[in-house]
Amino acid sequence: AIPIASGAGLKAALAKPGLRLALLQGVVFAATFAKEMALTAAFGLGAFMDAYTLVNNALIFSRSYFEQLGYGLLVPAAAQTSTPLTDDRRPPGASGDPSLRPSVERILAWMTFGTLAVSLGLLALAPWVAVALAPGASGERMGWLAFLCLWMLPACLAFQGAEALRCLCLQERRFMLYQGPRLVGLLGFVAIFALAYPHWGAVALVVAMVATHGFEWFAYARGLGLAAFPRPRWADLAPLLRQLGPVSLAWFVFYAGPMVDNAFLAGLPAGEPGAFRYAQVSVLIVAGLTLNNLAATSLSGLNAHCGQGRYAQAEADLWRIGAQSLAWGIPIALLGGLAASWAVRLMFERGAFGPEDTERVAACFQVFLWQLPALALWRPLSSCFYTLGLFKPLVGIGLAALALRLGMNAWGVELSGLQGLCWATTANGISLSLGCGVYLWAWMRRRPSLAD
């Protein structure tokens, strides 16, 4: 072993994908903190931030669809037709296996066309979209909700295909490309918002989000050697729709959760939806800094094992990821719970965000931390389901989880309001990953595994 204190040891350590990805994610999440601190300092937890939370849940819902397109369409093709690169160095003009490029560009073409069509539809129906997102909202909260549905939601949706391309970056182990545009986008958001807010107020948020989303879309497409706006071909539509149906159904039943949450958040007192969101954001940042990179570096090999029928190796990978998630997740949840108030105060308590807001966010944060192992497991589990073509069982598990979420949310809100909703969503996330893991383990055990 080479001592890391030496120059050679440091170079060897940085060459490891896991450490490289962890360092990149650390920088990205530091920029995410800067973005969230800018928003809380400007708006605090009031009617505007409540409306932003509800619209942002819709954006999370749509962004997850493009992520599923990446894992459900692009990654399986990459796992079966190309060999992932071992580092970020690529020959000029290279873009993985040549047979991958046409299918990616054809999917991208229709993805772009469909997204623009949906965005225009949302623009025309903005008042009704606002009511659909939060039927119980009224007054100032509804006013801001209508504003964001008209100006932010359609424009941001138009560029969310970047999430599908990020999945392909992970599969090809291009970690610099995976995180680089996201980092530039976050820093750009902070700069644009800081410069524009004194003059434009809430409009600055819309301008900053649209500009940075557009930049990320273009940067990921060009970084992968693809046209940012390829022309769709009618001949590709029918086979794409056949693939799209199962992936879309699986996505809906698994990612309708935030929209279900909206129905309950809209009825909570002012400031509580914002507290719910900021606690979730904080836990996702903790997960990204600690657990998610452990799973992300294993995705490429795991998908290859599943795609090529090496189920024993895939099962071993999943057990290892699960053990790592528990070994890191439980101590982090315990320590994070003890330091919750201090951490939230350090991150957000400035400007319009006061001590009362800190306590509300910290109480939610302590609950959401127990989702950490489940959050780390969900991506590799769902990726295996898609690579193996297990759409029907995935949809069945998702429908059961969605029905459970509705019942648990209703019970949690009735029992103890915001805190009950936090516990309900946490328990639902854990049960979802557990159900998927048990089914996948049983499925793999019943099938012969090919040797390497």
Nearest to 278 by CA among 106, 441, 38: 38
Mean pLDDT, residues 56-80 taken together: 75
Residue-wise pLDDT tens digits, 207-220: 999 999 999 988 99
pLDDT score for 9:
39
Find the mean pLDDT for residues 169-179.
80
The DSSP secondary-structure symbol of 99 reads T
> Which amino acid is present at 229?
F
210: left (phi over 0), alpha (psi -120 to 50) or beta: alpha
Span 249-271, mean pLDDT?
80
pLDDT of residue 16: 53
Given pLDDT bands bounded at 50, 70 and 90, which one contains residue 93?
Answer: very low
- Among residues 110, 45, 23, the alpha carbon closest in space to that of 293 is found at 23
| Cα–Cα distance for residue pair 153/123, rounded to 1 Å | 8
User: How many C-beta atoms surround the C-beta of residue 37 within 10 A?
Assistant: 18
Judge contact between 54 and 262, C-beta under 8 A: yes
Phi, psi of 349 (to 5 degrees): -75, 90
Whether the per-residue pLDDT at 87 is higher than 50: the answer is no
**360 or 291, higher pLDDT:** 360
pLDDT of residue 215: 93
What is the mean pLDDT of the segment spanning 237-247?
75
Residue 109 one-letter amino acid: A
Q: What percentage of residues in the chain have a pLDDT greater than 70?
A: 84
Q: What is the mean pLDDT of residues 43-55?
A: 86
**Largest alpha-carbon pair distance within the chain?**
65
CA distances from residue 59 to 12, 53, 279 in whole angstroms, order as listed? 40, 10, 17
State which amino acid sits at residue 5: A
Handedness of CA 385, 106, 222, 101 (dihedral sign): positive
As a whole number of angstroms, the distance between CA 63 and CA 69 comes to 10
Rounded Cα gap, residues 148 and 154, in angstroms:
9
CB 406 within 8 A of CB 264: no
Q: Among the listed ranges 23-32, 49-58, 86-95, 439-448, which one has the minimum average pLDDT value?
A: 86-95
For residues 193-207, average pLDDT: 92
pLDDT tens per residue across span 106-155: 777 787 888 888 888 888 888 888 888 777 666 788 889 889 988 888 88
Report angle CA 33, 39, 43 to the nearest 5 degrees.
150
Give the per-residue pLDDT at 407: 92
Q: What is the pLDDT of residue 423?
A: 94
**Spatial CA neighbour of 189 closest among 43, 53, 50, 33:** 33
Predicted local distance difference test score (pLDDT) of residue 368: 93
Torsion of CA 136, 138, 141, 145, to 10 degrees: 70
Q: Are the C-beta atoms of 187 and 163 separated by less than 8 Å?
A: no
| Spatial separation of the C-alpha atoms in residues 371 and 374, rounded to whole Å | 5
Angle at CA 208, nearest 5°, toward 57 and 27? Answer: 80
| Beta-carbon count within 10 A of 343 CB | 17
Token representation of residue 180: 């680089």
How far is Cα 389 from Cα 405, in angstroms, rounded to an integer? Answer: 25
* Token reading at 382: 């769902």
Q: Which of residues 186 and 30 earns the better pLDDT score?
A: 186
Q: Is the pLDDT of residue 99 over 50?
A: no
**What's the helix, strand, coil split of the chain in %, to 5?**
80, 0, 20
- Contacting residues for 319 by C-beta, under 8 A, at least 6 apart: none
CB 59 within 8 A of CB 85: no
Residue 295 contacts residue 376 (beta carbons within 8 Å): yes
Contact 130, 146 (CB under 8 A): yes
Q: Which residue has the higher pLDDT, 193 or 447?
A: 193
Record the tokens describing residue 340, joined without a space.
């919750």
Assess whether pLDDT exceeds 80 at residue 365: yes
Whether pLDDT at 195 is above 90: yes
Query: CB of 98 within 8 A of CB of 277?
Result: no
Asked whether residue 299 carries a pLDDT value surpassing 50, the answer given is: yes
3-state SS, residue 5: coil
The more confidently predicted of residues 9 and 105 is: 105
Give the predicted TM-score (pTM) of the model: 0.64
Q: What whole-number distance in Å separates Cα of residue 363 and Cα of residue 41?
A: 20
State the Rg of the chain over Cα. 22
pLDDT of 399 higher than 60? yes
pLDDT of 346 > 60? The answer is yes
Pick the residue with more confidence: 410 or 262? 410
- Rounded to an integer, the average pLDDT of 291-303 is 71
What pLDDT is stored for residue 18 in this prediction? 54
pLDDT at 114: 83
pLDDT at 167: 82
